[in-house]
């Protein structure tokens, strides 16, 4: 991509939203990184850490599912900027307060509140960028946001490794408030303002389930993203268990596995977004990366007896070829009119994150009879098959003008 194109893409809104997504991902992943140290300090034993760790993660996820709906509707009714301001205030306050918890009940409540706030960042940001950039450049804009944003995982891991867990939360909250100042210089989408008249129905979330055409598009938009969270939620999150089943030589730490995976995701987001621009097709680029993702998953299962270094390389490759998160959100946003676009772009990624619950439950259910490897392979085969079928029936959106409304 030429320097002149970069100059057009890296406008103030894109840079500010990319920084916001960086903070969003930092805060989103931070509990997973400091779970053991924080819950140990709060007085829990090994069994309690596992039990309450699960409760707190579920509380954060529940917050994100609720927040995805609330912020999506608000983004279409009140504007994209309203979400970008309100969501960052909410999760920044929650993260600062997380540094001062004295018991697990407070911890769970604040992660729930933080989850609500975190749910609004990406969807509103992607919607705004998709509407302010020319259609031939909007893929580059979203690509830049996602590629920079996922590096928040790396930052979370580095901060947690070098500072006390309470300071890690303070750092995240402070970053959010610093970023809030920059957001005052970002303007609302002209496309949203053009259709903001009183007679246009905006943010009709339930129409996505009652209107057949919208429902079909919506379900496909969700399903094609599920493989990514199968990889992160199963293969990466449970990497120590898989390493044991594969008889990997050396200790595997989940935090390190996450860091290598997310570095790969950052590279993959850049590569998949760039490929879609070069091919002038979201769908073909997405298909190529999903096929490569299948190959990387198969490779992961063949690492029996490998070294820890080889295992971490496999984590990195899983991330690279699952690096179509930005492409996924872009395709979802481009499928719908501007009066419901923020609702879709905000709820779709959070419902995909929520798909980790049935995916993980299926994995745990089958694990008893099939073992760790057999269960994961079976669940993965089902998830990828369903996603590829949905992708086949998803329409191409690269050349579409987004200045329209859904009737």
Residue-wise pLDDT for 226-237, tens only, equals 999 899 888 987
Residue 269 CA to residue 152 CA, distance in Å, equals: 14
Question: Is residue 197, in this structure, part of any structural domain at all?
Answer: no
What digits encode the pLDDT tens for the residues 57-67?
Answer: 888 888 988 99
316, 303 Cβ separation under 8 angstroms = no
64, 198 Cβ separation under 8 angstroms = no
341, 189 Cβ separation under 8 angstroms = no
Short-list 255, 257, 250, 228, CA closest to 352: 228
Whether residue 251 is predicted with pLDDT greater than 90 in this model: the reply is no
What angle (nearest 5°) sits at the alpha carbon of residue 179, between those of residues 177 and 181?
A: 80
Structure confidence at residue 273 (pLDDT): 87
Q: What is the CATH number of the domain that holds 121?
A: 1.20.1250.20
Highest mean pLDDT among 10-19, 100-109, 330-339: 100-109
Same structural domain, 72 and 210: no
Comparing 109 with 138, which gets the higher pLDDT? 109
What digits encode the pLDDT tens for the residues 262-312?
Answer: 889 889 988 998 899 899 999 999 999 999 999 999 999 999 999 999 999
Same structural domain, 229 and 364: yes
Same structural domain, 147 and 15: yes
Which domain covers residue 250, as residue numbers? 204-407
Given 156, 188, 220, the domain boundary residue is 188
Structure confidence at residue 282 (pLDDT): 93
What digits encode the pLDDT tens for the residues 353-386?
Answer: 878 778 888 888 898 899 889 999 999 999 999 9
Whether residue 1 is predicted with pLDDT greater than 60 in this model: the reply is no
Q: Percent of the chain having pLDDT more than 90?
A: 46
Whether residue 24 is predicted with pLDDT greater than 80 in this model: the reply is yes
Short-list 124, 32, 148, CA closest to 350: 124
Same structural domain, 180 and 265: no
Residue 197 CA to residue 52 CA, distance in Å, equals: 47
Whether residue 5 is predicted with pLDDT greater than 80 in this model: the reply is no
Same structural domain, 238 and 302: yes
pLDDT band at 2 (very low <50, low <70, confident <90, very high): low
Short-list 404, 343, 291, CA closest to 80: 343
Instruction: Give the burial string for 367-381 (b: 16+ CB within 10 Å, else e).
Output: beeeebbebbbebbe
Question: Is residue 196, in this structure, part of any structural domain at all?
Answer: no
Structure confidence at residue 182 (pLDDT): 87
Instruction: Give the burial string for 19-56 (b: 16+ CB within 10 Å, else e).
Output: bbbbbbbbbbbbbbbbbbebbeebebeeeebeebbeeb
Same structural domain, 150 and 246: no
Comparing 350 with 171, which gets the higher pLDDT? 171
What digits encode the pLDDT tens for the residues 299-356?
Answer: 999 999 999 999 999 999 999 999 898 889 889 989 998 889 989 989 998 888 878 7
Same structural domain, 160 and 218: no
Q: What is the mean pLDDT of residues 239-266?
A: 86
Whether residue 164 is predicted with pLDDT greater than 90 in this model: the reply is yes
Structure confidence at residue 36 (pLDDT): 83
**Alpha carbon distances (Å) from 205 to 28, 208, 286:** 24, 6, 26
Whether residue 196 is predicted with pLDDT greater than 80 in this model: the reply is no
Comparing 4 with 216, which gets the higher pLDDT? 216
What digits encode the pLDDT tens for the residues 184-195?
Answer: 888 888 888 777
Q: Percent of the chain having pLDDT more than 70?
A: 98
Structure confidence at residue 320 (pLDDT): 95
Same structural domain, 144 and 270: no
Whether residue 204 is predicted with pLDDT greater than 90 in this model: the reply is no
**Alpha carbon distances (Å) from 150 to 1, 26, 207, 228, 337:** 21, 8, 32, 14, 27
Same structural domain, 119 and 92: yes
Q: Compute the residue count for the chain.
A: 407
Same structural domain, 234 and 294: yes
* DSSP-based three-state secondary structure for 249: strand
Overall domain count for the chain:
2
Q: Which stretches within 3-103 are classed as H helix? A: 3-9, 12-41, 46-77, 80-98
Q: Rounded to an integer, what is the distance from CA 11 to the centroid of its chain?
A: 23
Residue 204 CA to residue 185 CA, distance in Å, equals: 29
Structure confidence at residue 198 (pLDDT): 63
Same structural domain, 184 and 211: no
């Amino acid at each position: 991509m030429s320097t002149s194109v970069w100059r057009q893409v890296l406008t103030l809104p894109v840079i500010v939203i990319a920084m916001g997504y960086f903070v969003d991902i930092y805060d989103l992943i931070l509990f997973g990184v400091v779970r053991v140290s924080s819950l140990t300090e709060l007085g829990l034993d090994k069994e309690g850490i596992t039990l309450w760790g699960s409760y707190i993660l579920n509380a954060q996820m529940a917050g994100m599912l609720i927040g995805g709906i609330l912020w999506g509707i608000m983004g279409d009714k009140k504007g994209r900027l309203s979400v970008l301001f309100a969501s960052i205030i909410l999760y920044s306050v929650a993260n600062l307060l997380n540094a001062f918890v004295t018991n697990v009940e407070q911890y769970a409540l604040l992660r729930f509140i933080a989850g609500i706030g975190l749910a609004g960042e990406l969807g509103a940001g992607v919607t705004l960028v998709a509407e302010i950039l020319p259609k031939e450049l909007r893929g580059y804009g979203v690509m830049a946001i996602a590629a920079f944003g996922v590096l928040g995982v790396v930052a979370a891991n580095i901060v947690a490794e070098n500072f006390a867990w309470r300071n890690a939360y303070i750092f995240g909250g402070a970053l959010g408030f610093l970023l809030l100042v920059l957001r005052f210089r970002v303007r609302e989408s002209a496309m949203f303002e053009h259709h903001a008249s009183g007679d246009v129905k905006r943010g009709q979330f339930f129409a996505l389930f009652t209107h057949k055409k919208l429902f079909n598009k919506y379900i496909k938009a969700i399903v094609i993203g599920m493989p990514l969270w199968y990889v992160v939620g199963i293969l990466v999150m449970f990497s120590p268990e898989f390493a044991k089943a594969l008889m990997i030589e050396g200790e595997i730490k989940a935090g390190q596995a996450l860091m290598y995976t997310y570095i790969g995701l950052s590279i993959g987001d850049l590569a998949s977004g760039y490929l879609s621009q070069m091919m002038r097709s979201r769908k073909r680029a997405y298909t190529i990366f999903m096929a490569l993702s299948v190959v990387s998953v198969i490779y992961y299962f063949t690492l029996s007896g490998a070294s820890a270094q080889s295992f971490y390389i496999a984590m990195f490759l899983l991330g690279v070829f699952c690096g179509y998160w930005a492409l996924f959100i872009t395709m979802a946003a481009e499928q719908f009119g501007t009066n419901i676009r923020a609702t879709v772009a905000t709820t779709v990624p959070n419902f995909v994150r929520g798909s980790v619950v049935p995916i993980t439950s299926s994995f745990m259910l089958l694990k008893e009879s099939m073992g760790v490897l057999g269960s994961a392979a079976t669940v993965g085969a089902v998830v990828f098959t369903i996603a590829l079928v949905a992708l086949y029936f998803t329409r191409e959106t690269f050349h579409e003008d987004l200045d329209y409304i859904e009737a």
